[in-house]
Amino acid sequence: MGLIVGNWKMNTTVTSAIMLANAVKVQIEGQFGPEVVVCPPYVSLYSVSETLRGSRISVGAQNMHSETNNGAFTGEISAEMLAQICQYVIVGHSERRTYFSETDLFINLKLLAALSAGITPILCVGEKREDRDSGRAHDIVSSQLDANLNGMDLDSKIVVAYEPVWAIGTGQSASPEIAQDMMFHIREILADLLGNQSEAIPLLYGGSVNEDNIGVYVSQADIDGALVGGASLNAGAFCRLIANASRTER
Ligand code: PGA
């Protein structure tokens, strides 16, 4: 069974987030298919989790702070706070790495804090255009995984999303061959780091995924689903993407 995650990024108000969540819930109700997660902005997490209560859609946060003790961190949200309303949290998204200067160490601490609060982290890794052009894509992804998973218990429940930075929001999705090749590499690294347990880790592709191209990704040997940005903001398009993912699952 696959996994489709919708990352709403900095979009929707509380009102439109509830409407979007409800529309997705109604459209996929009763249908068999991949597990579905939506990640609204913080301010809508509670309302969306209430809207989706009892449905087959889980809720994820888009970010969190690494500090495990609540306290004087103005403007930040802890894993403990999220644990009441979320099952998942995205960590290490390239937009956070780039625009908010998040380091591999900070991402590692977030991942560990999420796990200790019982939330499943969706760890994003991926190379920039210049890394791919210079033949360093595999090395970049290896070093991100090495650093970001440091100290993790071998049997922890995590999800890994490969999102080449050049494919995010650009309409230039990675070819299925590029995506599968990197997923195979990621599987090998995870096996090295975590042993046999790593086979259970879902691997998602992200970067300009839509209802038309989802099929080619989920039919690859090492791709279990997708992390979807833009195409998750329209209920109809997102639900067709989910349906196409289940139709073509390998
Ligand atoms: P996109 O975003 O689907 O709009 O390319 C993906 C992501 O950033 O997770």
Per-residue confidence (pLDDT) for residue 30, from 0 to 100: 86
Query: Among the atoms of ligand 1, which is closest to the Cα of residue 170?
Result: 5
Query: Among the atoms of ligand 1, which is closest to the Cα of residue 227?
Result: 9
Query: Which CATH superfamily is 3-247 part of?
Result: Aldolase class I (3.20.20.70)
Catalytic residue among 95, 102, 127, 163: 163
130-155 burial code (b ≥16 CB/10 A, e <16): ebbeeeebbebbbebbeebbeebeee
What is the separation of C-alpha 117 from the centre of its chain, rounded to a whole number of angstroms?
18
How many whole angstroms from 6 Cα to the centroid of ligand 1?
9
Q: Any catalytic annotation for residue 93? A: yes
Write out the DSSP string of 168-180: TTTS-PPPHHHHH
Residue partners of 208: CB distance under 8 A and separation at least 6: 167, 168, 169, 170, 171, 172, 173, 230
Q: Copy the structure tokens of residue 207.
A: 């970067």
Per-residue confidence (pLDDT) for residue 248, from 0 to 100: 67
- pLDDT confidence of 249, banded at 50, 70, 90? low
pTM here? 0.97
Atom 2, ligand 1: residue with shortest CA distance = 229
Which whole number is the average pLDDT over 103-129?
98
Residue partners of 124: CB distance under 8 A and separation at least 6: 90, 91, 92, 93, 94, 161, 163, 206, 227
Atom 7, ligand 1: residue with shortest CA distance = 229
Domain boundary assignment for the chain: 3-247
pLDDT tens by residue, 174-186:
999 999 999 999 9
